[in-house]
Amino acid sequence: MWECAALKNAGVMGLAFLFAVTAFASEGSQPAGPGGAARSRGIGEMTASQGSPVGSEEVVVYSARNEQLIKPVFDAYTQATGVQIKFITDQEGPLLERLKAEGANTPADLLITVDAGNLWQAAQMGLLKPVTSEVLVANIPPHLRDPHHQWFGLSVRARTIVYNTDKVRPSELSTYEDLGNPKWKKRLCLRTSKKVYNQSLVAMMIAELGEAKTERIVRSWVDNLATDVFPDDTKMMEAIAAGQCDVGIANTYYYGRLMEKNPDQPLALFWPNQQDRGVHVNISGAGVTKHAKHERAAVKFLEWLSSEQAQNLFADDNLEYPANPKINPDTKVAAWGSFKQDLINVSKAGELQNSAVRLMDRVGYK
Ligand code: FE
Contact 140, 324 (CB under 8 A): yes
Euclidean distance between CA atoms 306 and 300, whole angstroms: 10
Handedness of CA 310, 324, 107, 52 (dihedral sign): positive
Residue 3 alpha carbon to ligand 1 centre in Å: 5
Q: What is the pLDDT along the chain (366 residues), one digit of tens a residue?
A: 333 333 333 333 333 334 433 332 333 323 333 333 332 222 222 233 334 444 458 999 999 999 999 999 999 999 999 999 999 999 999 999 999 999 999 999 999 999 999 999 999 999 999 999 999 999 999 999 999 999 999 999 999 999 999 999 999 999 999 999 999 999 999 999 999 999 999 999 999 999 999 999 999 999 999 999 999 999 999 999 999 999 999 999 999 999 999 999 999 999 999 999 999 999 999 999 999 999 999 999 999 999 998 999 999 999 999 999 999 999 999 999 999 999 999 999 999 999 999 999 999 999
Residue 350 alpha carbon to ligand 1 centre in Å: 17
Residue 261 alpha carbon to ligand 1 centre in Å: 17
Write the CA distances from 301 to 84, 145, 177, integer angstroms.
Answer: 10, 16, 40
Bridging pattern class, strands 58-63 and 84-89: parallel
Contact 249, 162 (CB under 8 A): yes
Residue 171 alpha carbon to ligand 1 centre in Å: 28
Q: Quote the distance between the C-alpha of residue 179 and its chain's center.
A: 23
> Closest by alpha carbon to 20, among 34, 29, 52, 30?
52
Cβ-proximal residues to 304 (8 Å cutoff; 6+ apart), any chain = 77, 80, 81, 310
Residue 284 alpha carbon to ligand 1 centre in Å: 10
Contact 130, 288 (CB under 8 A): no
Tell me how many helices (H) and strands (E) the chain has.
Answer: 13, 11
pTM of the predicted model as reported, rounded to 2 decimal places: 0.85
Grouping H, G, I as helix, E, B as strand and the rest as coil, residue 158 is strand
Contact 105, 14 (CB under 8 A): no
User: Can you give the pLDDT at residue 56?
Assistant: 54
CA dihedral 218, 223, 225, 227 (to 10 degrees): 130
Residue 296 alpha carbon to ligand 1 centre in Å: 30
**Neighbouring residues of the ion ligand 1, judged by CB less than 5 Å:** 3
Residue 2 alpha carbon to ligand 1 centre in Å: 7
User: Nearest-5° angle of CA 69, CA 16, CA 80?
Assistant: 40
User: Can you give the pLDDT at residue 8?
Assistant: 32
Residue 152 CB-density burial (10 A; 0-12 exposed, 13-18 middle, 19+ buried): buried
Residue 365 alpha carbon to ligand 1 centre in Å: 20
Residue 260 alpha carbon to ligand 1 centre in Å: 16
Euclidean distance between CA atoms 92 and 117, whole angstroms: 11
Residue 139 alpha carbon to ligand 1 centre in Å: 24
> Closest by alpha carbon to 251, among 330, 195, 311?
195
Contact 278, 261 (CB under 8 A): no
Grouping H, G, I as helix, E, B as strand and the rest as coil, residue 104 is helix
Beta bridge partners of 286: 112, 152
Write the CA distances from 300 to 105, 126, 305, 307, 316, integer angstroms.
Answer: 22, 22, 9, 11, 22
The H or E element that residue 247 is part of is strand 247-251
The H or E element that residue 285 is part of is strand 280-288
Maximum separation of any 2 CA atoms in the chain, in Å:
64
Grouping H, G, I as helix, E, B as strand and the rest as coil, residue 218 is helix
